[in-house]
Structure 1
């Protein structure tokens, strides 16, 4: 796949960009110069920005270059219902910042004339942030957007949020990192907090509290726990997607997973997740809740500098097969709405968590992140804290009205 296959090169919508919008291309001595993230050269510069921004941050983990190329390519299923544009800020020819703007028709169908920004990374320089944010806002305004939220990379079902607490520890797989100045610089550009999200850390050796044991006993004759049926993966993925879309449908900013997006997630499950790290709870024979546990791939790729060639892929495979992971992440969990806010719903949540716990312990995974959890999701937060979980990272989504 060529880098020129990127959607930044083929994004639909208005042609407004840094070359068309006055005041965005720089020119004054020392001022950032803005360029579109299109074509091989532009997208490569876009992808290089994080390495520049985090070069002195020991907690940062370089993402796999191949995975990022795929994310920005036409193969990303987000492009079936959205389009995006990206920009890179350069100073003296060196990339010092980046941003993307995107419009998601599924989000607009629910929330009106909305748009997003995302993939924001930049050095601590107000002129760089101002230039990047202005480019994103002007392009979004040309798309008819009146309210901007973000950051999303590219949707709420992918990496999202600005890290505002928890900078000293590395991000878990498929979670963003950040620098301490991001929130301050965004707020200086008129953005205000819209929603906070938490990442919980938990020791996988936690003891089951008496209330949990009692609930599981109370509904034990109705609740059955099982693992993923890999031979029926397509059907299983649709089952999990249906539970997730139902379970999360009333949450802030919810946009449903499409079948294509969940199928892409299924490729991750196929290659890095054993069947019993996906637990499905059935009530009276009907699937009602599930949880997905991953080994924390960031722990396994931290020394690869983002590259699988020439021998990084072999090291990664050996680590996956050899059980080298000591950390995990739970990225997906859901209980059908009809059971939420009820004792049976709590029992279902406990059941799938206990199932993931046993699978993690068996593999030597001693610690797990459960993320993300909405700050105002009191029910789930109470369950996790009963199990000994503690919020150790906080992410923030921002909003700004631009028209």
Structure 2
């Protein structure tokens, strides 16, 4: 790309999509080389660094860690992926999206470093990760929270050593890159662990390989149910029990349910206490009460939007809807990519869906509405409409909703992004 002062964020994103031969190229050698040239490996990004890996729940866990830390007066930086509407969503400082100028400066720093000496090829995600790390280093937050993009051991985020590693859940997803062996996937996720440092295991159903890797690494494990837990405390509230690194116990009473998986809420609290944050009950209540995470059980009137796109996530959504019965019908608007387990998702949601709208997504990886409809009908579901786009499906359904009906729109980040854009246009 020519060096010009007028280069925009969109220019950079278009450029980065073209400079590497493949979109995903797992491995740390190239990333580490450029990170070294940028000086990112010689100094700490922040006094506290938490890295979050897992199949489901990463984004909500990062958001809760971030919100809880800010409620305790800490300056925060959070790096997540993918985004819903704007690339800027991937990097937040104190809860606010990074501006274009910050991201452009980061990409300029990455480009200068990768072309210095022997040129190094980087993927779109790798360049974005390095740009975010560079921006975080310059902002000097009290806490940096980093979400792994894919896997763990070979993901670009893992070029940074975390003070606290978090593994949320492990299930089948991204089989083209991670395979279908849960023990092998567990080893990949466990690659974010570091010797002598705490790892928060946020699921009681992790593969044995995760625990084996922790033992081999010499990491200090803190396990859901065993070392920390949540307990119901009446409608809309929960109690939390945790353990500090020195073994002392901690207890928080009557915390508000943030409308997200409480396993993840408990994990976020444990991650912070493992990072040395003294949790204050009032601050925790405030953070959880006000938390909203776009695309994660996000309610907009009668519409619930969730990016869940595998059977594990769909089962959670079905459970939450079953806990909140409605007097009308429950519709599911579903759009999925072709490399996802559509049958597993449909099977998990079949028990709560009264009617379905199948939608087609754009792109080479997309699955069309006709294919989805056939799979839904094989599960005994009623497909009321097959739409060429999520927006068309939403428009068709919105004109037929009864006041007591509700809609779950899910199956992909692309589905939720399209519905969010449609909802914004309707409100304008």
Same fold per superposition (TM over 0.5): no
Kindly indicate whether structure 1 or structure 2 has the higher relative contact order, using CA contacts under 8 Å at least 6 residues apart. Answer: 1
Q: Normalising by structure 1, what TM-score?
A: 0.30
Bigger strand share: 1
